[in-house]
Amino acid sequence: QVHLVESGGGSVQAGGSLRLSCAASGYTHSTYWMAWFRQAPGKEREGVAAFAKDGYTRYADSVKGRFTISQDNAKNTLYLQMNSLKPEDNAMYYCAAADPATMGWVLSLRGADYAYWGQGTQVTVSS
């Protein structure tokens, strides 16, 4: 059973920063690929950033240059450093994990490619 728990969300003014964390347990952490997604009210879920075990990353165009995804294998924790936050970054942020073989070993930002999900953490950015 894969278990993902997000934390670090909160309220911040535009231009500010937050760091989200996702604590992972219950699977072989050294092999799974992980990602961050977000969903704002009335909008579809959006892939934000993904991280492969060899350090390869992928970002949505909307966050490139502002967000950084990273992973601490010793702590089994995935991070999302979010800088220069904008009101359009308002959303519930979710951590997800998947066996890379199910993606055909191509790092994906599609939610359907990820089998395991956390409960989410809310990010609110005020203008």
Mean predicted confidence (pLDDT) in 63-71: 97
What one-letter code names the amino acid at 30? S
Rounded to whole angstroms, the Cα distance separating 24 from 34 reads 10
**CA 22 distance to own-chain centroid:** 8
Distances (CA, A) of 103 to 42, 106, 111: 28, 6, 11
Neighbours of 49 (CB within 10 A): 24
Structure tokens that stand for 76 in this block: 């089994």
Identify whether the C-beta of residue 53 lies closer than 8 Å to the C-beta of residue 101.
no
Supply 36's token pair: 């961050």
* pLDDT tens per residue across span 68-89: 999 998 888 999 999 999 999 9
How many Cα atoms are found within 13 Å in the side-chain-facing hemisphere of 126? 4
Whether residue 93 is predicted with pLDDT greater than 60 in this model: the reply is yes
CB 20 within 8 A of CB 6: yes
Mean residue pLDDT of the chain comes to 94
Give tens-digit pLDDT for 9-28: 999 999 999 999 999 988 65
**Predicted pLDDT at 30:** 63
